[in-house]
Structure 1
Amino acid sequence: EWPGGKNLATTPAIWKKMFEIIPSDAFGLNYDPSHLVWMQMDEVKPIYDFKDKLFHVHAKDVKVYPEKLNEVGIMAYPLDYHSPKIPGLGDVNWRGFFSALTSVKYRGPVCIEVEDKAYEGSQKDVEAAILTSRNYLKQFLA
Structure 2
Amino acid sequence: MVYSMTGFGHAEAADENWSVKVEAKAVNHRFLDIHIRLSRNYQQLEETFRQLVTTGIQRGRIELSVNIKELSEQNRIVKIDRGLLAGLYRQWQELQGELPLPDLTFDHIFQIPDLVKIEEPEIDWEPLTKLAVQAG
Q: TM-score, normalised by structure 2?
A: 0.24
Counting helix residues as a fraction of each chain, which structure ranks higher? 1
Name the structure, 1 or 2, with higher relative contact order (CA <8 Å, separation 6+): 2
Counting strand residues as a fraction of each chain, which structure ranks higher? 2
Q: TM-score, normalised by structure 1?
A: 0.23
Structure (1 or 2) with the larger CA radius of gyration = 2
